[in-house]
Structure 1
Amino acid sequence: MNKRSLGNSELLISPIVMGTWQAGKKMWVGIEDSETVKAIRSGFEAGITTVDTAEVYGDGHSEQIVAEALADVRDRVVYATKVFANHLKYDLVLEACERSLKNLKTDYIDLYQIHWPSGTWKSEIVPIEETMSALNKLKQDGKIRAIGVSNFSRAQLEEASQYGRIDSIQPPYSLFWRQVEKDLTPYCVEQNISILAYSSLAQGLLTGKFKADHQFAEGDHRAANKLFKGENLSRATQALEQLKPIADRHQTTLGNLALAWLIAQPQTNAIVGARDAAQAIQNAKAAKIALSAEELQAIDAIGRTVTDRLDDNPVMWNF
């Protein structure tokens, strides 16, 4: 898998990134640690050398599973993790980083990201200057190699950038969820900031596996995802039918077609989770799909039949 530069940093990342929210198990159902370890390892062996996690995913459990899967190949992988919104005061950032280093069994984190802006999830308001000061200190000390943000608006990203170099932003972004294109993407192109798209398969909707009458198991957070409800789901189902001939032409899956489209967008890389080894290996294949300009345009138009009817709320779930 051809690697790409992360922003202006020296880090080289795989355009398909292993997502590990599910590895934390909290808010997911049917997740087995042994299968997750195999998935992460199989993804690495298939070329997915970048792994994204967070302290809040299962209160560190996800980070521990990443370490279990990849500790022996640490020098060949890029670890990206995140500090949560309730730990953005100077000292709390430093403490959170130490916990993540311990969980990941490493002495440095490649990409350390602010998971959500200060004030979200009922967190205390902390000036971004204070948080960035802590991140700059960690970078100066060699404990982190690059700084990123997640779920920031363009205005929040611009403000953070006044206090230090931001090399990436992690927003929800997929063929069926495209708010970032309005103002974030142009700024990221201008400033050479990498986009690490999460929910890049619209939480599985873009795989075509979900029917109109699907019922999620109790505890599955996708039940609150706006895309899985009413007319949104109906429009998505129709769009997937239109995408199928393009996928068939490339002898690939609907999910991988959506990923190939996504990583062809400016500055964009795709975070994708996997429950087992087979899914991870399948996800890696998306990087090999070459879409023509005409196909990219056709896929874009089909995706807009879903996204043009969504509201402007940047949060995907009605929690």
Structure 2
Amino acid sequence: MTQIISALSEISDRYDALFVDLWGCVHNGITAYPDAVAALQEYRAKGGVVVLVTNSPRPRASVAQQMLDFGVPTDAYDTIATSGDSARSAMYQGAVGEKVYFMGEAERDADFFKPLDILDNPTNIQRVALTEAEGIVCCGPFDPMADPDVNRADFLYAKTKGMKLLCANPDIVVDRGEVREWCAGALARLYTEMGGESLYFGKPHPPIYDLARRRLTALGKSIPSHAILGIGDGPQTDIIGAMGEDIDSLFITGGLAATETKTTHQPDPSALSNYIETENVSPQFSIGQLR
């Protein structure tokens, strides 16, 4: 049974590092949550390390700038691990071929195709039409409000050609303010259901956690799993991911699952219990919002 806590500080002394989700935990896609920022600043002031672990398809430099734009100061975290960086590395190693069909919002996701100079002999990636492609790179839908089914015809063609789909963001949906939007994970799920092969690099899959641990190492930190706490609002991404990595987790119930857990300031205990049983997850701790 998950333990409902009232503040991160109740349990933070047990952990040397936090793997913290962004959307729904630290910001709402528009602006930062002041209480969450303050909690992370307090944790770092006591010597803890904060790694922002996000399914954003962007490189970490772009996410860092986005955090400033949203009002998240640099003293709220130590480093960032993004699904985008994991996926970009795989793409430039040829995971879906040289000629790729890109899915996403061209202007917002432009940084995904910036050169990756940490690799020897990176693949010469060329963006082409679907009929010329060897594989698909998916940072998200062309229209985040459109039902993923609008891609069914293209996916059928891609599947018959044996194309792999590289998913740069396994999230199914996010809430941008009060508006719920589809993410790349919804498209990858559809492609898989249709018999295609999707490759994932964000939570809950191992590559992004490997990257997060490398980010810790780059800071000169060697922290065992039992001393890391994963924090997030996605049961099938953040919490399942933490379970797979054998790290404890703090479930933010006021994010994606606010309605199901009847969260206002805090979740309703009975609703929360039913929800985590339905989702088949077992977070050690839960809280309405990160604070």
TM-score band (shorter)? 0.3 to 0.5
Q: TM-score, normalised by structure 1?
A: 0.31
More strand by share: 2
